Structure 1
Amino acid sequence: MNIFTTILILCLCIIPFLPASAQFNDSINYHLRFATTGSLNKTNAGDAYLLNNGVGFNINKRKITLNTNASWVYGQLNKTLTNNDFAATTDMDFLKKVSKLYYWGLLNFESSYSLKTKYRFQPGAGVGYRFIDTTNAVFTVSDGILFEMADLTNATFGKEKYQTVRNSLRVKYHFLIGKVITIEGVNFWQPSLLSFKDYIFKFNNSLSFKLNEWLSLTSALSYNKISRSGSENLLFTFGITLDKYF
């Protein structure tokens, strides 16, 4: 029996006895989260490992919601660097708890070895719509305009600095099942308005089993593609998530 099968069986045995997790309400307005996941493969032919760390802080008020997130991915294959990727995002939602239709603003910064990106900076704004927003289920779709400044390394043309304007379509969901299983994700499609051959895909999705009020076992799947540099990565990792509502 491998380690992941053992963990799954333990989770299924523990689940019926676990308490419910805290959520935002009238008295709980802040949420702090830290997640660390990874993978390790050791064979006679060589070693490979990947670490994916993320931290987030959310402020949830009646008319304004502020979200800040940062992540760092580091990996090696046979002692050769494969990933050294950093991303930080701050976004603010206006009237999200007052109306199904709301407004948002965003600042995003990325630097990625695996995606051949020295830096990417994206400020933007737009609108969103809350199709579902309950204690156990959230599903929102948003769309807006981003102004992008970036420095890429292209396999054909070498280094490239550029500016462009992108449409940014985001689908975000969060489902709590049986008070202990969480399925959530944030997915983007960002085509340039100057050339639809220039696009960015970002898919980040996870499945978590809650062990207690603040600790969960997490598996995460992330896929990123940048057509302009012809680079992409796919990350599948396991680890833990720490949550605190206050």
Structure 2
Amino acid sequence: MLQLRMRKTAIIFVMAVGFLNQTHAQKKYLYQDAKAPVEDRVKDLLSHMTLEEKVRQMDMYRGDFFKEKEDFAKGKSAEKIGKLGIGAIHDLYPRSAKMINDLQTNVIKGNRWGIPALIMCEMLHGYLDEGSTAFPMNIGLGATWDTSVLDKVGKVIGMEARAHGVHFGFGPNLDLGREPRWGRVAETFGEDAFLNSEIGLAFIKGLQGDDLKSDRSIIAEPKHFAVHGIPQAGGNSS
């Protein structure tokens, strides 16, 4: 159910920023009308899709399937793209506009409703790629006790991610660092639940901005909440 809600949010997001192919079908459907209410467009699009097409929107593939070195690999990715569309691609980290544009063009043309792929990447303490801003590790960011700083950090990360064609960020990490033997305490904002919630909320607001239509905003995915941050005997149980 959580995945379904996230995917619906993703569909609303790509519609809001105008990614859906407006000239794909000869018939003018409501979902292709950028001036129509987003919820109405989503309902219209879902009403036309087959069960298989909806299920495919729940799929998520590794970025390695879609590129050779830093270029889009059309032949390599043809089987994954297919004719039903692609839900999401994670850890792609596109380094050029041509790479991500070539990929999305093939995904959009490869399904009859012109739905692009949702690009998802890690954003622990910065957009993870060469040339992007690397902020202090989360344990250091939490030690600032400063929500205004975290809002600014989120804004920079969101802007740099969107500039690379990324829509969805795996972050912030809201696990509580209460087990010093656990090797990933540095990924947390600390041990205090209230501090984590306030710092994390500021981070999320920074990433998402005031409007997802902005070319500087992305969808934030707070994580991990259960199990991952509660290691057994100090071991990383993932």
TM-score over 0.5 for the alignment?
Answer: no
TM-score of the pair, normalised by structure 1: 0.25
Larger relative strand fraction: 1
Larger relative helix fraction: 2
TM-score of the pair, normalised by structure 2: 0.25
